[in-house]
Amino acid sequence: MDYIGVAAALGYIIFSIGLRLWFLFYIPYKRHSSSAIAWLLVVFLIPEIGIPLFFLLGSPKLSKRRRALQAEIDDVVERATRDTNRLKDLDLAQRDRIDSVVSLGQSLGTLPLSLGNTADILPEYNKAITDIVSEVNNATEFVHLEYFILALDNATEPLFEAMEQAVRRGVKVRVLFDAMGFRAYPNKRQMMKRLTDAGIEWRKMLPIRLGRNYNRPDLRNHRKVVVIDDRVAFLGSQNMIDRTYHRKDDIYYDELVVKLSGPIVRQCNVLFASDWYCETGEKLLALLDPKKRPLPRGTGLVPAQVIPSGPGYEVLGNLQLFGQLLYAAKKRIVITNPYFIPEDSLMVACKSAAQRGVEVIMINSEVMDQKAVGYAQRSYYEDLLEAGVKIYLYKAPILLHSKHLTIDDDIAVIGSSNMDIRSFALDLECVVTLYDQSVVKDLKKVQAANLKRSKQLKLSEWHGRPLHTKFFESIARLTSALQ
């Protein structure tokens, strides 16, 4: 009898059972059920692939060091903004309306409500770039740019020229771009050399590192924010790249950016400074503390609040914010988002709103620029349509990449966050919540134009889609939960 072989086989069986029991305990711990089930299926059904994949990609959080840096800068921001919450200055009716959302936003992202702001909606791709360039040309102290994708091409050349001129007249220019987001686009080396030669301080965000600073490689910084002189800020969905994204097909992109002025600009700078500190170790405290540097003066009447989220935080901040807003709606919700792959609680919130009589409109795109994401998104259409949600598809070849949400006539959210599991758990995101009827009115004009260019999807039509399409949707939905 081969005792060695028997012992080896028995040892393998014990190890295999022990490993599976460990996975049964570890994977569901503090992980959303859909993600836990998806990972357990992969690990148990195809362990040769699933186990190494889990150890490579299984943690949805940034490294302990990176989270410690985030907590440190959040503590600084909280102390600096402790006495700047202006919720008490609103009239009683508006305070009651938004109190729970504002309080949640401050709990999630540290930043309080800010009053006295102006918000201008910029739905035209090239005009948004032109406006940013114009403001950089007027900069006197600093320019802070942060983008998921920053590319050097014909569309962005005026911005690079404006930054170079700003440095020459003594303006401090700092630039952040995602370490993976820019890699697929032309002129990478030329861009980095040009930034360096111009005297612009720049860093890649979340570069891949090994050891104790290791982050899973698909944790990315997806934010898009520009801050100039404590005077004006831009925030939204638009990357700094040509509208075609240099694609080889005929797809090109529509975006939306909000231009902000007033005290809210400081919150946008806090966001940039937090990411700058995490990447460089440099604290820009002199630019953030309202006791040392007064808040920007009021320019309007818009109450606003910046809310960051991402794997540097312990909770899924943007998911909680969206859910809270959907439950607060009384009459109408309009969701404009290119990638809608909801976590269970958000799906319930959407369906519940429609079923209690709220008009829920969702604007997606007819075209898919990412097939797996597109199929996963479409797997939710049937449930949404049956609940009474109205779905509109923006006509090809344009992909509506804008990311905004309106609640009734008085709350708007604009930012970088998609409504998918990646943006909820894996990407650093930011949104600004604007509690103002005039802003919602302006955004409704954009929504109306988008709806005019879209086709409404009917339930009967959707039921008739091919069987192979339903199969692809199911597979994509399962894999989308692997976070």
171 and 293 in a single domain? The answer is: yes
161 and 76 in a single domain? The answer is: yes
Q: How much is the pLDDT for 32?
A: 67
Is 475 domain-assigned?
A: yes
275 and 329 in a single domain? The answer is: no
Q: How confident is the model at residue 22 (pLDDT cuts 50, 70, 90)?
A: confident
Cis amide linkage into residue 311, ω under 30° from 0: no
Q: How much is the pLDDT for 481?
A: 63
127 and 18 in a single domain? The answer is: no
Is 157 domain-assigned?
A: yes
Question: Domain range spanning residue 51?
Answer: 3-57
Which residues, 6 or more positions from 355, have their beta carbon under 8 angstroms from its beta carbon?
Answer: 387, 388
Is 307 domain-assigned?
A: no
Q: How much is the pLDDT for 257?
A: 98
373 and 403 in a single domain? The answer is: yes
Last-in-domain residue among 277, 302, 327 = 302
349 and 225 in a single domain? The answer is: no
Last-in-domain residue among 271, 302, 333 = 302
384 and 435 in a single domain? The answer is: yes
The rounded mean pLDDT for the chain is 90
176-190, 382-396, 465-479: which has the minimum mean pLDDT?
Answer: 465-479
Q: Which of 232, 10, 288, 200 is nearest to 118 (CA)?
A: 232
Judge contact between 117 and 264, C-beta under 8 A: yes
Q: How confident is the model at residue 83 (pLDDT cuts 50, 70, 90)?
A: low
Q: Which of 346, 403, 437, 431 is nearest to 111 (CA)?
A: 431
Q: How confident is the model at residue 343 (pLDDT cuts 50, 70, 90)?
A: confident
Number of domains the chain contains: 3
Q: How much is the pLDDT for 76?
A: 77
Q: How many CB atoms lie within 10 A of CB 327?
A: 16
Write phi, then psi, for 102 (nearest 5 degrees).
Answer: -60, -45
Q: How much is the pLDDT for 30?
A: 61
Q: How much is the pLDDT for 303?
A: 96
C-alpha span between 11 and 73 (Å, rounded): 49
The pLDDT tens digits for 281-293 are 998 888 887 778 8
DSSP label of 91: -
Q: How much is the pLDDT for 321?
A: 96
The mean pLDDT value for 441-445 works out to 98
Q: How much is the pLDDT for 87?
A: 78
The mean pLDDT value for 426-442 works out to 96
276 and 380 in a single domain? The answer is: no
The mean pLDDT value for 244-262 works out to 97
Q: How much is the pLDDT for 472?
A: 85
84 and 36 in a single domain? The answer is: no
Q: How much is the pLDDT for 8?
A: 67
Q: How confident is the model at residue 299 (pLDDT cuts 50, 70, 90)?
A: very high
Q: How much is the pLDDT for 401?
A: 97
Is 275 domain-assigned?
A: yes
Q: How confident is the model at residue 333 (pLDDT cuts 50, 70, 90)?
A: very high
Is a pLDDT exceeding 60 seen at residue 392? Answer: yes
291 and 393 in a single domain? The answer is: no
Residue 189 vs residue 41, higher pLDDT:
189
Is 158 domain-assigned?
A: yes
Q: How much is the pLDDT for 84?
A: 67
C-alpha span between 414 and 385 (Å, rounded): 25
Q: How confident is the model at residue 123 (pLDDT cuts 50, 70, 90)?
A: very high
Q: How much is the pLDDT for 91?
A: 84
101-105, 149-153, 236-240, 257-261: which has the minimum mean pLDDT?
Answer: 101-105
Considering the chain, what percentage of its residues have pLDDT values greater than 90?
Answer: 65
The mean pLDDT value for 259-285 works out to 93
Q: How much is the pLDDT for 67?
A: 85
Q: Which of 299, 474, 264 is nearest to 379 (CA)?
A: 474
Q: How much is the pLDDT for 49?
A: 73
Q: How much is the pLDDT for 467?
A: 87
288 and 327 in a single domain? The answer is: no
Q: How confident is the model at residue 78 (pLDDT cuts 50, 70, 90)?
A: confident
Q: How confident is the model at residue 465 (pLDDT cuts 50, 70, 90)?
A: confident
The separation between the first and the last C-alpha atoms of the chain, rounded to the nearest angstrom, is 47
Is 447 domain-assigned?
A: yes
Residue 197 vs residue 76, higher pLDDT:
197
Is 102 domain-assigned?
A: no
The mean pLDDT value for 450-471 works out to 92
Is a pLDDT exceeding 80 seen at residue 180? Answer: yes
Which residues, 6 or more positions from 204, have their beta carbon under 8 angstroms from its beta carbon?
Answer: 176, 177, 178, 179, 182, 279
User: DSSP strand E in 243-372: where?
Assistant: 252-254, 257-261, 302-309, 332-336, 340-341, 359-365
The mean pLDDT value for 24-38 works out to 67
281 and 344 in a single domain? The answer is: no
Residue 338 vs residue 209, higher pLDDT:
338
Amino acid, res. 279: E
Residue 434 vs residue 50, higher pLDDT:
434
**Dihedral of the CA atoms 39, 42, 44, 49 (nearest 10)?**
-120
Q: How many CB atoms lie within 10 A of CB 82?
A: 10
C-alpha span between 95 and 88 (Å, rounded): 7
Q: How much is the pLDDT for 34?
A: 66
Is 30 domain-assigned?
A: yes
C-alpha span between 206 and 216 (Å, rounded): 10
C-alpha span between 205 and 277 (Å, rounded): 11
Q: How confident is the model at residue 475 (pLDDT cuts 50, 70, 90)?
A: confident
Q: How much is the pLDDT for 362?
A: 98
Is a pLDDT exceeding 80 seen at residue 9? Answer: no
Write phi, then psi, for 349 (nearest 5 degrees).
Answer: -65, -40
Q: How much is the pLDDT for 148?
A: 97
Q: How many CB atoms lie within 10 A of CB 410?
A: 17
Is a pLDDT exceeding 70 seen at residue 82? Answer: no
What b/e readout covers 283-318, taking b as 16+ CB neighbours within 10 angstroms? ebeebbeeeeeebbebbbebbbbbbbbbbbbeebbb
Instruction: Give me the CATH number covering residue 438.
Output: 3.30.870.10
Q: Which of 199, 327, 218, 306 is nearest to 263 (CA)?
A: 306
Q: How much is the pLDDT for 6?
A: 65
Last-in-domain residue among 249, 279, 302 = 302
C-alpha span between 388 and 136 (Å, rounded): 46
